[in-house]
C-alpha cells in the first residue's frame, strides 16, 4: 500500500536526490534495504557526506584553496596580551614578511594565531615566536589538538598593566610641583617625563615600521609627542602620552570583557575525569578520553566529552550551552553534550566524541572560523582605514607647510595644528567599531544556544524580512502519532493489537508509530505469521490463521471489497483535517480505520507570534500534500506552498530573493538547494555535525523560540554597528574641523581619540548583555 507521502519524505530527508525513486515507494518489508540503498547513493551523488560539504552564500569571503592548505602544516599559538583588533592586525602584518609563510589567520576573540607553513621545523617556529615577542606579546605554542582549548583562558584585566600608567602619572604630578616652584626646572621635568613616557611607545612604533605598519597609532603618537617637544610644548606632549596610555588601558579592559563570554565556554571543560576500567576507577586527564571509554561524573561535575547516558536517568543542566535554565531529564541511551552539568546523582556515561571534536570544541572552532567571514560593512571599514590614515597624515603635512610657505603664516601655530590633525588620523575607534560588536554578538548567541557563523551571516539575519520553513522536523516533531482509532465489529484494543502484530518489525515511521501507540496502551504484541509486502499496495500477515491487510484507503479494492459510503466519508473527513489514514481489512470486510498526524512542535505557535511582532513574514515550503499542509498552516497562521519537489523549493526561494531578504530554516541537509539559495540559512539541530556545518547559523538548542531571539539579537547588533561607525566618524569629523581652526589642542585630540575607542567598545558590550524582552 501507499501511505501519505509526507512520512516517506521525512524518512528520506537526508537524500533529496533519491526522491524521484523514493517518494512513491510502497510501504512494505523492503523499507530497510531501500533506505540503505538510498543512503549509499546519497554519499556518492547527492552530496551526502556532511563532513566535507558546507554551505556558502555569496556574501562569504572567498574560501581558501583546500588542496593547497591540505598540503600545508598548521601551527597554532595562543597569544597573551593581544587585547584589541588593532593588535591582531599588527601581528598579521609583521608575520607576512617572514619567509616560508603560506597563510596567516588571527582569531582575536580566542587570542589564536594560526600559521600555515610548507613544512614544520623548529627554525620556522622560533622565527615566528621571536617576531611576536618583538611586538610585545607572549606566544604559547599549541603542539596538539587536545590542548587547543584548554589553556588558561583568563581574560580579566592584568593589574600589572597599571604600573607604567602609575609611574607616568606620578612623574606628571612631580613635574607640576617643580613647575610651581620654578618655571625652568618644571619645564625640564616635563621634558624628562615626556621622554620616559615616549620611550616604550617609540620602541613599539619602530618595530611596527620595520614590520610594514608605518601608520600605526604608536607611530602617529610618537611623531606628535616628538613634534610637541620640538616646539617647546613639553606639558602637552606629556599629557598626550598619559591620555593615550589611559585610552589603551580602557580599551584593554573593555575588549577583555567582550572576549570573556567566549572564553567561558572553554572553561566548561574539566581538566580531569574519573574513568572506569575493568570495574576500577581511575582519574585521568580529560583530553585523553577516547570513544567508548566509560566515565563516572558526580553531582556538580561537568561532562568532559559528548556522551551517551548509561545510568537509568539523570537531570542535566545545559544552561551554559543552550541558555535553558531548567534542567533536562535524560534517560538511558540519550546523548548529552560536553560542558553540561550533572545536577543530582553520580552517573555513568560512555564517551562518543573524538579528542577535540566535542560540542564545546566545535562551538569554539565555529566561532574562530566565523571571524574569517567578515560582514560587508567590516570589510568596507578595513579597506577605508587603510587609506584614511595615510590621507590624514598627508593632509596634516600640507596643513603644516602650506600656510607658512604660501601665506607667510606663523610656523609654530600651523605646526601645532598639523600635529593635532595627525592624532585625529588614528582609525582605532573606527576599526574596532564592528569586530567588537560581532565578537559580543557571537558570544551572546553562543551562550543562548545559537551559533552564528561570522559577521556576514549576522548582518544578513538582521535584515531578514521573510523566513521560510521546511515542515517535517522543523515546524513539526517529524514523528507521526496516532490520533484516531475507529474499529468495526471488534474493540479498539483488538484492532490496535491486530495492526501492531502485522506492522511489528517495520522501519516505516507510520508502522513504528502504530506499534509504539499499542505499547503505550499496554497491549501485548505478537508478530504475525507469514508477513509479506504486496508491491505498491501494502503489507499482509496472518493472525489466528486468518489473513489481514494493512493498506491505504485508495488501495482497498486491490485486496478487499470496496468501502461503504459511510466509511469513505469518515476517511475523507480525517484526510481533510490533514491526517494520514490506513485501514485494516480482510479479503471481504473492513476491520477498522487508524488515523495519524505529524504534530506541531510545542513552541511553533509562540514562535510564529513572536516573528509577527518583529514584522517578519513566515512561509512554509513542503513536499507534503496540500490538505496536510493547509491544516498545519492554519494552526500557525502562515502562508504555505505544498507538494514541492526540491527544485520547486529552490525556485520559490530564488523568486522571493529578488525582491526581499529571506532566510530558510531546515535541518541543515534536507532542502539544501533552497537553503543555499536563501539570503541566509539557519539549521535546526542539537549540536550535531550536520546541523552545525550545513548552514550559516545553527539553533543548537533545537528550539524554534531561539529564532526570534536570534533575529532580535542580530538586529540590535546591526543597530549597534551603525551607532559605532557614526560615533567614530562623527567625532573624527568634529575634531578634524576644530583642530584645523585651532579650537582643539593636542591633549584634547588624543582624549577624543582614546575616548571614542573606549565609547564604541563600551557600546559594543551592550550587545554582550542584550536579552530579548519577550
Are 79 and 139 within 8 A, CB to CB? yes
The three three-digit cell numbers of residue 71, written as one number: 598540503
Residue 74 C-alpha cell reads as: 598548521
**C-alpha–C-alpha distance, residues 751 and 76, integer Å:** 37
Identify the bridge partners of residue 106 per DSSP, sorted by sequence position.
113
How far, in Å, CA of 404 to CA of 399, rounded? Answer: 9
> What span, in angstroms and rounded, lies between the C-alpha atoms of 749 and 243?
10
Angle at 770 between CA 765 and CA 774, to 5 degrees: 175
Q: Please, which residues have CB within 8 angstroms of residue 106's CB and are 6 or more apart in sequence? A: 82, 88, 89, 91, 92, 112, 113, 114
Q: Closest by alpha carbon to 703, among 771, 604, 584, 561?
A: 604
Nearest 5°: the CA angle 771, 772, 774 is: 140
Number of alpha carbons in the 13 Å side-chain half-sphere of residue 418: 23
To the query of whether residue 470 is one of the catalytic residues in this protein, the response is yes
User: In this structure, are strands 697-699 and 450-452 parallel, antiparallel, or unpaired?
Assistant: antiparallel
Cell triple for residue 730? 562623527
Q: How far is CA 288 from CA 295, 346, 462, 729, in A?
A: 12, 21, 41, 51
DSSP per-residue letters across 423-483: HHT--HHHHHHHHHHHHHHHHHHHHTTEEE-SHHHHHHHHT--EEEEEIIIIIEEEEEEEE
- Name every residue whose Cβ is closer than 8 Å to that of residue 262 and which is 6 or more positions away in sequence: 109, 110, 364, 367, 439, 442, 443, 446
Q: What SS3 class is residue 677?
A: helix
> Are 3 and 480 in contact, with CB atoms under 8 Å apart?
no
Strands (E), 298-394: 307-309, 313-317, 328-331, 335-336, 341-342, 347-351
How many beta carbons lie within 10 A of that of residue 566, not counting itself? 8
Strand order, beta sheet including 476-487: 476-487, 590-600, 580-585, 546-551, 538-543, 529-534
First to last CA, the chain: 47
d(CA 677, CA 60): 13
The C-alpha atoms of residue 650 and residue 671 are separated, in whole angstroms, by 8
Quickly list DSSP for 53-68: -----TTSPPPP-HHH
- Spatial distance between the Cα atoms of 405 and 414, rounded to a whole number of angstroms: 11
Residue 231 burial class via C-beta count within 10 angstroms: exposed 0-12, middle 13-18, buried 19 and up = middle
Q: How far apart are CA 671 and CA 691, in angstroms?
A: 13
Considering the candidates 83, 293, 306, 470, report the single residue annotated as catalytic: 470
Q: What are the backbone angles phi and psi of residue 392, rounded to the nearest 5°?
A: -65, -40
Calpha distance 623→12 (Å, rounded): 12
Q: Which residues contact 502 (CB under 8 A, 6 or more apart)?
A: 528, 531, 539, 540, 541, 543, 548, 550, 584
Distance CA 387, CA 389 (A): 6
3-state secondary structure of 643: coil
| Residues designated as active site | 470
Amino acid at each position: 500500500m501507499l501511505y501519505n507521502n509526507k512520512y516517506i519524505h521525512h524518512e528520506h530527508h537526508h537524500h533529496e536526490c533519491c526522491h524521484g525513486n523514493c517518494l512513491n515507494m510502497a510501504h512494505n518489508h523492503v523499507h530497510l534495504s531501500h533506505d540503505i540503498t538510498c543512503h549509499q547513493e546519497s554519499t556518492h551523488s547527492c552530496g551526502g557526506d556532511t563532513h566535507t560539504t558546507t554551505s556558502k552564500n555569496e556574501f562569504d569571503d572567498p574560501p581558501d584553496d583546500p588542496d593547497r592548505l591540505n598540503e600545508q602544516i598548521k601551527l597554532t599559538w595562543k597569544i597573551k596580551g593581544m587585547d584589541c583588533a588593532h593588535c591582531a592586525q599588527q601581528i598579521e602584518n609583521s608575520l607576512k614578511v617572514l619567509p616560508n609563510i603560506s597563510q596567516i589567520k588571527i582569531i582575536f576573540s580566542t587570542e589564536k594565531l594560526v600559521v600555515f607553513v610548507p613544512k614544520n621545523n623548529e627554525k620556522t617556529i622560533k622565527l615566528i615566536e621571536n617576531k611576536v615577542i618583538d611586538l610585545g606579546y607572549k606566544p604559547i605554542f599549541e603542539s596538539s589538538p587536545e590542548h587547543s582549548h584548554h589553556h588558561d583562558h583568563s581574560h580579566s584585566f592584568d593589574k600589572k598593566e597599571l604600573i607604567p600608567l602609575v609611574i607616568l602619572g606620578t612623574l606628571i604630578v612631580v613635574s607640576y610641583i617643580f613647575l610651581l616652584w620654578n618655571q625652568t626646572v618644571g619645564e625640564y621635568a616635563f621634558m624628562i617625563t615626556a621622554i620616559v613616557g615616549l620611550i616604550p611607545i617609540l620602541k613599539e612604533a619602530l618595530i611596527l615600521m620595520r614590520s610594514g605598519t608605518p601608520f600605526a597609532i604608536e607611530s602617529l603618537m610618537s611623531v606628535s609627542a616628538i613634534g610637541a617637544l620640538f616646539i617647546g610644548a613639553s606639558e602637552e606632549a606629556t599629557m598626550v602620552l598619559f591620555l593615550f596610555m589611559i585610552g589603551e588601558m580602557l580599551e584593554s579592559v573593555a575588549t577583555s570583557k567582550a572576549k570573556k563570554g567566549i572564553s567561558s565556554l572553554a572553561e566548561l571543560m574539566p581538566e580531569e575525569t574519573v574513568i572506569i576500567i575493568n570495574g576500577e576507577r581511575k582519574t585521568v586527564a580529560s583530553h585523553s578520553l577516547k570513544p567508548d571509554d566509560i566515565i563516572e561524573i558526580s553531582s556538580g561535575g561537568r561532562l568532559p566529552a559528548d556522551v551517551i547516558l548509561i545510568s537509568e536517568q539523570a537531570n542535566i543542566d545545559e544552561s551554559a550551552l543552550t541558555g535553558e535554565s531548567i534542567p533536562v531529564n535524560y534517560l538511558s541511551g540519550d546523548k548529552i553534550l560536553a560542558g553540561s552539568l550533572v545536577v543530582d546523582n553520580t552517573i555513568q556515561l560512555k564517551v562518543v566524541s573524538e579528542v577535540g571534536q566535542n560540542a564545546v570544541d566545535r562551538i569554539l572552532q565555529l566561532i574562530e572560523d566565523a571571524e574569517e567571514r567578515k560582514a560587508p560593512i567590516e570589510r568596507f571599514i578595513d579597506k577605508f582605514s587603510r587609506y584614511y590614515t595615510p590621507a590624514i597624515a598627508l593632509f596634516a603635512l600640507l596643513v603644516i607647510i602650506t600656510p607658512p610657505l604660501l601665506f607667510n603664516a606663523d610656523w609654530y601655530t600651523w605646526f601645532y595644528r598639523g600635529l593635532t590633525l595627525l592624532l585625529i588620523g588614528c582609525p582605532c575607534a573606527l576599526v574596532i567599531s564592528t569586530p567588537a560588536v560581532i565578537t559580543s554578538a557571537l558570544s551572546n548567541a553562543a551562550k543562548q544556544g545559537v551559533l552564528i557563523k561570522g559577521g556576514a551571516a549576522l548582518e544578513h539575519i538582521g535584515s531578514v524580512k521573510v523566513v521560510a520553513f521546511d515542515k517535517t522536523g522543523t515546524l513539526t516533531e517529524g514523528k507521526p502519532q496516532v490520533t484516531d482509532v475507529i474499529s468495526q465489529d471488534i474493540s479498539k484494543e483488538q484492532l490496535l493489537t491486530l495492526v501492531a502484530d502485522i506492522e511489528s518489525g517495520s522501519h516505516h515511521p507510520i508502522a513504528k508509530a502504530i506499534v509504539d501507540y499499542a505499547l503505550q496502551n499496554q497491549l501485548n504484541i505478537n508478530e504475525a505469521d507469514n508477513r509479506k509486502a504486496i508491491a505498491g499496495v501494502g503489507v499482509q500477515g496472518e493472525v489466528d490463521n486468518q489473513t489481514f491487510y494493512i493498506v491505504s484507503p485508495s488501495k482497498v479494492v486491490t485486496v478487499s471489497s470496496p468501502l461503504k459510503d459511510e466509511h469513505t466519508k469518515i476517511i475523507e473527513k480525517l484526510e481533510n483535517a490533514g491526517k494520514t489514514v490506513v485501514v485494516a481489512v480482510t479479503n471481504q470486510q473492513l476491520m477498522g480505520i487508524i488515523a495519524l498526524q505529524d504534530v506541531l512542535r510545542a513552541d511553533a505557535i509562540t514562535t510564529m507570534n513572536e516573528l509577527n511582532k518583529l514584522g517578519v513574514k513566515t512561509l512554509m515550503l513542503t513536499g507534503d500534500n496540500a490538505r496536510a499542509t493547509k491544516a498545519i498552516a492554519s494552526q500557525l497562521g502562515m502562508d504555505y506552498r505544498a507538494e514541492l519537489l526540491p527544485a520547486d523549493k529552490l525556485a520559490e526561494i530564488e523568486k522571493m530573493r529578488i525582491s526581499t531578504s529571506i532566510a530558510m530554516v531546515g535541518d541543515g541537509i534536507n532542502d539544501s538547494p533552497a537553503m543555499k539559495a536563501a539570503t541566509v540559512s539557519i539549521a535546526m539541530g542539537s549540536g550535531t555535525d550536520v546541523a552545525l556545518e550545513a548552514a550559516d547559523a545553527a539553533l543548537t538548542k533545537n528550539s524554534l523560540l531561539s529564532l526570534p531571539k536570534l533575529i532580535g539579537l542580530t538586529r540590535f547588533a546591526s543597530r549597534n554597528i551603525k551607532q559605532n561607525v557614526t560615533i567614530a566618524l562623527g567625532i573624527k569629523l568634529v575634531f578634524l574641523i576644530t583642530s584645523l581652526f585651532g579650537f582643539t589642542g593636542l591633549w584634547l585630540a588624543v582624549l577624543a581619540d582614546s575616548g571614542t575607542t573606549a565609547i564604541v567598545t563600551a557600546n559594543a558590550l551592550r550587545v554582550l548583555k542584550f536579552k530579548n524582552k519577550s
